[in-house]
Amino acid sequence: MFCYFYHAGDNSITTPGSVYNRPMNDNLPQIKTGKLLNQLGLTLAVAESCTGGLVGHLITNIPGSSAYFRGGIIAYAYESKVRVLGVKQETLELHGAVSQETVLEMAQGVRQLFQTDIGLSVSGIAGPDGGNPEKPVGLAWIGLCAEDFNQAESFRWQGDRLQVKEQSASQALQMVNAYLRSQERLKKAESVQVTCRFDTQGGIYPLSFTSKGSHYTINSVGRQWDDSAGKHILVMVQTDQVHELLYIPRAGKWLLYLPGKRIPTV
């Protein structure tokens, strides 16, 4: 195992409210993430560029983090991204280091390198130089890869170089935390058979489902939303109960979150 981490040894970067000297409490994303990784028995590795190892620094501030954190790579230059993480030179030339395509390849590369369940990556423009109208200072891309799952999001931060790094690192941990929460819920869901129809715009309309040998006809379809797990759909069945169905496109399967909620009659 080999790790490259950034350590804060200069008082000039320890400012009030900084992640370097923030008091520990249970609401910090690195603590929430660590607890969920332990509970789910999953492991994490990180590939960092603009954050310079700050994500790894925050994770390893938590005692016992070696149980779920396997290591990190600071791949700052193009050459490091290619040689260490396996990012394609073509990807960098076509899209640049700060792009959706690059952070996904970084996350995939570090996950494969450390043989972990989750790979996390960050690449951005911390400033004060290096920005342009298309990719301004403060732009950061964060990528997350797991088995059959890829996610990348961009953010535009305000502030100086250190603040951009801190915000990027914090958001990266929050992305992992959101993914883990969705995985935690999935463990409590039941696989079900759903009859549905799809419209020409890609909309999904469940008609009925079978759960534990019982067949339920769906009377109405309510709110729908998407997250890292898939498409969530609230449905009401003939017993006036509201259930939450989850459609996972990449797996082509449906899950039912339990229990359903009964709508009171008046």
* Consecutive 10-residue averages of pLDDT for the chain (266 residues): 37 47 74 96 98 98 97 98 98 98 98 98 97 96 95 97 98 96 88 91 89 92 86 91 90 82 46
| Rounded Cα gap, residues 111 and 187, in angstroms | 22
Class of domain 11-186: alpha beta
How much is the pLDDT for 198?
A: 85
| Rounded Cα gap, residues 258 and 200, in angstroms | 30
Q: Do 50 and 123 form a contact (C-beta atoms < 8 A)?
A: yes
Give the chain's radius of gyration (CA, Å).
21
Could you check whether the bond before residue 128 is cis, i.e. omega within 30 degrees of 0?
Answer: yes
The torsion region of residue 144 among left (phi > 0), alpha (psi -120 to 50) and beta comes to beta
How much is the pLDDT for 240?
A: 87
How much is the pLDDT for 6?
A: 35
| Rounded Cα gap, residues 228 and 97, in angstroms | 24
How much is the pLDDT for 201?
A: 82
How much is the pLDDT for 239?
A: 85
| Rounded Cα gap, residues 260 and 235, in angstroms | 10
| 254: DSSP letter | E
Token pair in block for residue 102: 């690059």
Domain locations in the chain? 11-186, 189-262
| HSE-CB for 90 with a 13 A CA cutoff | 0
Return the closest-CA partner of residue 36 out of 2, 62, 9, 10: 62
How much is the pLDDT for 7?
A: 36
